[in-house]
Amino acid sequence: MLSVGVELLTTNPLQITVIGVAIAIVFLASIVGILGWMLRVPKETERTRTATKAVRSVNKLSRILVPLIRKNDVTDRIVALAAQMARPRNGSVELLAVIEVPFMLPLDAHVEEDEKQVLELLDRAGSVASHYAIRVTKRVLKARAAGAAIVHEAEDRAVDLILIANSPVRVRGNLQQVDPAVEYVLKNAPCEVLVLSQGLTNVMSDARREREEVMMAGRA
């Protein structure tokens, strides 16, 4: 009987070499290093803590009060700034106009001219704020002094920030850089206050324009 033996040869398709092991180790180490760098929590420092605190503090300013003292470009800009701050925070803006009633009149006296100017001021400010998708409320208060009324409103409404425009006023022919109402708010406000003021060049230009208007009115 003839028997035939068949020898089966098996080969290992995966050949492990020293170079291959070295390359694999280097590749694995690089992957681990990249993942570690991506997931690494940066070490907190005094500078990063200060920056984080400042950002969180500003992000909480969502209820903004904007007192409307005078009808001018500075007031328009402060209204636009308030709207821009409130929009990303889903906040609200309150436009406040104060009618200062003289002491010789009762507080609820009907001051037609002042009321007309206040309504025009509110309409103008509302037109500026309408360009932004935010909640806007309008209020008119009668008071003896605008500064005290603004502070009381801020306390009553628990606002986070007062944005107010400073328009220099005249005292015996000289320019006073801080409006008395703004100065009172800065000293007595229950919250943070941000004041937008004209530069000196703009102030002098406005003063010159006022003198020209007075002269033209006198000639007429």
Q: Would you write out the chain's pLDDT as a tens digit for each of its 220 residues?
A: 555 555 555 555 556 677 777 777 888 888 887 777 777 666 667 777 777 666 776 777 889 999 998 888 889 999 999 999 999 888 999 999 999 988 888 888 888 888 889 999 999 999 999 998 899 999 999 999 999 999 999 999 999 999 999 877 666 666 667 888 999 999 999 999 999 987 654 544 454 554 444 344 444 4
pLDDT of residue 46: 74
Q: Give a three-class secondary structure readout of the chain.
A: CCCCCCCCCCCCCCCCCHHHHHHHHHHHHHHHHHHHHHHCCCCCCHHHHHHHHHHHHHHCCCEEEEEECCCCHHHHHHHHHHHHHHHHHCCEEEEEEEEECCCCCCCCCCCHHHHHHHHHHHHHHHHHHCCCCCEEEEEEEEECCHHHHHHHHHHHHCCCEEEEEECCEEECCEEECCCHHHHHHHHHCCCEEEEEECCHHHHHHHHHHHHHHHHHHHHC
Task: Measure the CA angle with vertex 195, ends 67 and 192; round to 5°.
Answer: 85
The pLDDT value recorded for residue 10 is 52
Identify the architecture of domain 60-219 in CATH. Answer: 3-Layer(aba) Sandwich (3.40)
Instruction: Please state the pTM of the whole predicted model.
Output: 0.68
Burial of 8-17, coded b for 16+ CB within 10 Å and e otherwise, reads eeeeeeeeee
Question: Which pLDDT does position 215 carry in this prediction?
Answer: 40
Domain ranges for the chain, please list them: 60-219
Owner of token pair 């991506």: 38
Please tell me the predicted confidence (pLDDT) of residue 213: 42
Closest to 100 in 3D by CA, of 92, 91, 109: 109
Task: Report yes or no: 99 and 142 within 8 Å, Cβ to Cβ.
Answer: yes
**In the prediction, which pLDDT does 106 show?**
87
Kindly state the tokens that stand for 83: 């709207």
Q: Given this model, what pLDDT does residue 36 score?
A: 73
